[in-house]
Amino acid sequence: MQELYYKSASELAELLAGGELSSVELTQALIDRTKSVDEQVGAFNSFDEADALAQASASDERRASGDVLGPLDGIPVGLKDNLAVYGQPLTCSSKMLERFVSPYDATCIQKLKSTGAVLFGRLNLDEFAMGSSTENSAFGPTSNPWNLECVPGGSSGGSAAAVAAGEAVFALGSDTGGSIRQPASYCGVVGLKPTYGRVSRYGLAAFASSLDQIGPLARNVKDAASLLQAISGHDAFDSTSYKAEVPDFVASLESLKGRQWTLGLPKEYFAGVADSPALEPVRQAIEFYRGLGCEIKEVSLPHTEYAVATYYIVATAEASSNLARYDGIRYTHRAESFDAKDSVDIYCQSRAEGFGEEVKRRVILGTYVLSSGYYDAYYLKAQKVRTLIRQDFERVFREVDALLTPVAPEPAFRKGEKEDPLSMYLSDVFTISANLAGIPGLSLPCGYSGGLPVGLQILGKPFKEDEILAIGQEFETAHPFKDQHPKL
């Protein structure tokens, strides 16, 4: 029998509904699992056991009195430590916010609370979500549950590793350039970056506001759909959130099943990696769709080669502005043991002490590309190229329903292997364009290479998360990788 902590949210919902399990029992099982494996995995920055059990027991009381709030009621959800939860720490894995406690709830958290889900734990990330390995955390790295010598990917590495290791049923992450999809691929779980605007960013610690989106990491496509359902929708607190009906993502899995999709293979995504043995599972997944009768078409996204460079201008520019608020004066780390001449001295010293290397590198780069004299050459140029990248997608989406690509050029790499920041940046070559274009992307386990999971990326049209989820589920049903787990 499958352990409780490896069951999916939908299986658990049935056990809860049938009275075979209580939320307190379930939450306790996850707490016990976390206590037994997190020493090795390091997915959690912290968790509030008493608070989680109190939420679980409130859920059990609701159920006893017939007031169940929905299918997520009583099911624990892990949270990346850059989402604001009232009364809980919000560290962004930075020394800067080490002692900060959030005075309010993010919109996605409020929405989750209204579903009765049990909010459990603060999951590790690269500091301020800047990175691809969860090694850039002020509180130490997270390990990949499939091979503890390897990274879990990043920046939502804590969220992905927690789901893979059975420490969370599912979890929220954030994706600015690939931070949900790439760790999902490395850890063998499902990850979805929604369309820009689908989910309110209010209460997500801002990294690059025009790229950031919150999304689910889960054991299977259906769980990702139901978690996305819970957090989607317009929000007056985020003017970039989308004003329209949210489809029923779970119901669409059924209604869209079996369609003969036209699927594009962007040739630029396969150019350098076509023969890589690590991508054999991706090629097999493509053949699976061909075998289903889907039309597979080669397409071109000619501006792909500029995506990484464009991203590191736009993202760092926005980060330099967003991170200016951490000044040592208000709620952040304050440098104290030195002789400050004036307030500028306090800002400088506090920021020097509070931020890690990678964050500083980006603030400096971002400030540079926005400075007068360089603005036109870098920032403005990058914005123009960003438009060209978006237009590439608009053009191919007139011909195809979705695109199939690798998530990353390789499976999880070893810790310490990518010390050169540029080599780290390149692990996002296949995920970054979706953020620049604002389109949704799904990362789906599609096999293994050298004992490590490999993901397939399915990119969709704006606001067509229902379609990429349905396409993904078709593969998942035929290939139940979701039932395989790392040995811990």
Contact residues toward ligand GLN (CB under 6 A) are 129-132, 155, 175-179, 207, 315, 428
Question: Which residue in 102, 155, 320, 433 is the catalytic one?
Answer: 155
Side chain identity, residue 226 = S
Query: Based on CB atoms, which residue is closest to ligand GLN, 33 or 181?
Result: 181
Question: Which residue in 10, 179, 252, 350 is the catalytic one?
Answer: 179
3-state secondary structure labels for all residues of 401-433: CEEEEECCCCCCCECCCCCCHHHHHHHHCCCHH
Query: Based on CB atoms, which residue is closest to ligand GLN, 361 or 390?
Result: 361
d(CA 127, CA 380): 27
* 423 a catalytic residue: no
Phi, psi (deg, nearest 5) at residue 121: 90, 160
* 239 a catalytic residue: no
Within 13 A of 132's CA, how many CA atoms are on the CB side? 30
Query: Based on CB atoms, which residue is closest to ligand GLN, 443 or 473?
Result: 443
Least distance from C-beta 73 to ligand GLN, angstroms? Answer: 30
Least distance from C-beta 162 to ligand GLN, angstroms? Answer: 17
Query: Based on CB atoms, which residue is closest to ligand GLN, 56 or 408?
Result: 408
Residue showing tokens 């996850």? 30
User: Which letter, b or e, does each residue of 428-462 get, where b requires 16 or more Cβ atoms within 10 Å of its Cβ?
Assistant: bbbbbbbbbbbbbbbbbbbbbbeebbbbbbbbbbb
Strand pairing category for 213-218 and 190-193? antiparallel
Are 403 and 304 a contacting pair, CB within 8 Å?
no
* 102 a catalytic residue: no
Closest CA to 298 of 207, 199, 400: 400
DSSP 482: G
Question: Which residue in 80, 95, 222, 461 is the catalytic one?
Answer: 80
Least distance from C-beta 126 to ligand GLN, angstroms? Answer: 7
Query: Based on CB atoms, which residue is closest to ligand GLN, 176 or 332?
Result: 176
Are 316 and 360 a contacting pair, CB within 8 Å?
no
Closest CA to 237 of 193, 194, 195, 206: 206
Query: Based on CB atoms, which residue is closest to ligand GLN, 88 or 427?
Result: 427
Least distance from C-beta 92 to ligand GLN, angstroms? Answer: 11
Q: Which helix (H) or strand (E) holds 79?
A: strand 76-80
Least distance from C-beta 382 to ligand GLN, angstroms? Answer: 14
Residue showing tokens 């007031």? 67
Least distance from C-beta 25 to ligand GLN, angstroms? Answer: 35
Which residues are annotated as catalytic? 80, 155, 179
